[in-house]
Amino acid sequence: MSDASDCEQPPENTEQTETIPIVDLEPSLALPPPPEDEWGPIPEHTNVDASRFSFSLYGIIPVILGIFSLLLLMLCGFFGYHYFQSVQESESKMKSLNQWIESFENKEEIFLQVQKVLDQNKEILEKLQNQNENMSEALQELNAKGGDGCGSPLSHWVQHRDHCYHQTVKTVSWSECSELCVSLNATFLKTERSRLMCILKLLAVNHTWLGLSYKEEDNEWKWEDGSRPSGLEWRLPKPSMDFQGKCVYAGVHTVNIDNCTVSSSCLCEKPVCA
């Protein structure tokens, strides 16, 4: 067989196709045109503006979140600072309270120690009172048996050489001392300096009248009997009319002057009883 038979073409269709026209059975409904006032220009670049708005929105959100984060950190710092301050104040108050408690405990210990010392002193006082009672009884027994050359020991007379000396319990003015000493069978003190110093040591007198005063008519210091003091001039101020109404009193290891009207004890003397 030849190549012509192999490439045999298909038979041509000589039949004609019939075209059927499509006719609309119903007339198409026409939409009314929009009003003229709603007509407008078609916006251009609409997609570009939307993309820009989205980009700016995405940029603002982190900024807002950052601001809120910063505000939150500031609030945390503020409250943290106040919390730290309150903790420090609480610690300070607690420390003060502990110190007050320790101080109170120390005071309590001191109070207990003082109470203990008071109890000990109370015991000592009771012992001294008992000893005093015993001494009083012994003195009463001694008084019953008799005294020395100055009389009963309970009469508060002390002896120095050949005289007895007494500091009165009653206080009077200087002018009344003479009568007071006479009522005790004694005389108002008159002696020299050396003996006076010994008497003051024995009696431990304090502001006690001596029989020595300023005499205005003679402008001198004189004893009550009118004699001049011996060895006491250097202890007395120089006589002057300013000393009118001044009298001499004995103090602790010294002599001084005061108004004669001042009420004080008197120093009396008498010879030793035979």
3-class DSSP state of 264 = strand
- Residues forming a β-bridge with 254: 251
pLDDT recorded at residue 53: 56
User: Given pLDDT bands bounded at 50, 70 and 90, which one contains residue 13?
Assistant: very low
pLDDT recorded at residue 179: 93
**Architecture of the domain delimited by 153-271:** Roll (3.10)
User: Given pLDDT bands bounded at 50, 70 and 90, which one contains residue 274?
Assistant: very low
pTM attached to this predicted model: 0.45
Contacts of residue 207, Cβ cutoff 8 Å, sequence gap at least 6: 249, 250, 251, 258, 264, 265
101-131 residue pLDDT tens? 888 888 888 888 888 889 888 889 888 888 8
Q: Is the dihedral of CA 194, 196, 200, 202 positive or negative?
A: positive
Q: What is the mean pLDDT of residues 225-243?
A: 81
pLDDT above 50: residue 80:
yes
User: Given pLDDT bands bounded at 50, 70 and 90, which one contains residue 250?
Assistant: confident
Q: What is the mean pLDDT of residues 213-231?
A: 86
51-65 residue pLDDT tens? 565 656 667 888 888
User: Given pLDDT bands bounded at 50, 70 and 90, which one contains residue 262?
Assistant: very high
* Cα–Cα distance, 264 to 210 (Å, whole number): 10
Q: β-strand 208-215 against 265-271: which pairing, if any?
A: parallel
The residue to which tokens 């001198």 are assigned: 220
pLDDT above 60: residue 210:
yes
Q: What is the mean pLDDT of residues 189-212?
A: 82
3-class SS letters over 2-53: CHHHHCCCCCCCCCCCCCCCCCCCCCCCCCCCCCHHHCCCCCCCHHHHHHHH
212: left (phi over 0), alpha (psi -120 to 50) or beta: beta
pLDDT recorded at residue 55: 57
Q: How many CA atoms lie within 13 A of 185 on its CB side?
A: 9
pLDDT above 60: residue 218:
yes
Contacts of residue 243, Cβ cutoff 8 Å, sequence gap at least 6: 214, 237, 257
135-150 residue pLDDT tens? 776 665 555 444 456 7
Q: What are phi and psi of 210, to 5 degrees?
A: -105, 160
pLDDT above 60: residue 36:
no
Contacts of residue 34, Cβ cutoff 8 Å, sequence gap at least 6: none
The answer to whether 221 and 181 are in contact (CB under 8 A) is: no
Domain positions in the chain are 51-125, 153-271
User: Given pLDDT bands bounded at 50, 70 and 90, which one contains residue 259?
Assistant: very high
* Cα–Cα distance, 190 to 226 (Å, whole number): 10
Q: How many CA atoms lie within 13 A of 39 on its CB side?
A: 4
Contacts of residue 169, Cβ cutoff 8 Å, sequence gap at least 6: 156, 265
* Cα–Cα distance, 45 to 233 (Å, whole number): 137
3-class DSSP state of 133 = helix
Q: What is the mean pLDDT of residues 188-196?
A: 80
